[in-house]
A and B are shown apart, each in its own frame.
Chain A
Amino acid sequence: ELKVEQNPLFLSMQEGKNYTIYCNYSTTSDRLYWYRQDPGKSLESLFVLLSNGAVKQEGRLMASLDTKARLSTLHITAAVHDLSATYFCAVAPAPGSARQLTFGSGTQLTVLP
């Protein structure tokens, strides 16, 4: 059974600081996704990571994937208030397995002025 763990679950950080959210998963996978959710809203796709060593960047967010360590990171650079949201990672099982994504519990990020 695929398990996905995110940490931290809650993160308060000051504007301008850097921080990293971690996503560990328990079985082989070749696809990992990061989503953002604003309060009361739906989930918005941020990044799709499809291979070992993949790195994607958008603005102040950068995501990476290490399939050997079964670890993805979401790095926040010089945080701003607009980044306050809950961030989820989601993992797809190895090819040939069932089709659905398994989600982490989410990291609730609050960026303080």
Chain B
Amino acid sequence: DAGITQSPRHKVTETGTPVTLRCHQTENHRYMYWYRQDPGHGLRLIHYSYGVKDTDKGEVSDGYSVSRSKTEDFLLTLESATSSQTSVYFCAISQTDRQLSGYTFGSGTRLTVV
């Protein structure tokens, strides 16, 4: 398997609390992405990174922030979790922006906000 791990795998949190999800890769890939998956919506891009400290917003970035201080780690933070952020979150990596083999995905984090 490609070296990409997400933690935690499952989390239940209360509305209004901050939550940080971690994506760690050992592939030394430049590009990293956070998607959320919800029924009927496929995967929607939250934020992505094209290098250390270089990040940009995706389609559904409101309520989320990211940080990338090292090549291998991409953190997704929900500053104040809401029930609408209950979802499955996937991290993905790619070596270039012309990745001929597409993305490699992590195993996902199932987040429940109660």
Contacts and interface: CB of A to CB of B under 8 A. Distances in A.
B45 A100 contact: yes
A90 interface: yes
A101 interface: yes
B107 A90 contact: no
Contacts of A48: 100-102
Given A33-B102, A99-B50, A43 B42 contact: no
B62 interface: no
Given A48-B100, A99-B50, A100-B58, A43 B105 contact: yes
A49 B54 CA distance: 29
Nearest to B104: A45
B50 A104 contact: no
Interface centre among A9, A45, A99 (most CB of B within 10 A): A99
B103 A101 contact: yes
A53 to B, nearest CB: 17
B74 interface: no
Given A43-B90, A45-B102, A104-B42, A99 B31 contact: yes
Given A6-B42, A100-B33, 12 more contacts: A35-B102, A42-B90, A45-B101, A45-B102, A88-B42, A88-B43, A99-B48, A100-B45, A101-B45, A101-B103, A103-B35, A103-B42
Interface of B: 31, 33, 35, 40-45, 48, 50, 56, 58, 90, 94, 97-98, 100-108
Interface of A: 4, 6, 9, 31, 33, 35, 41-43, 45, 48, 50, 88, 90, 95, 98-106
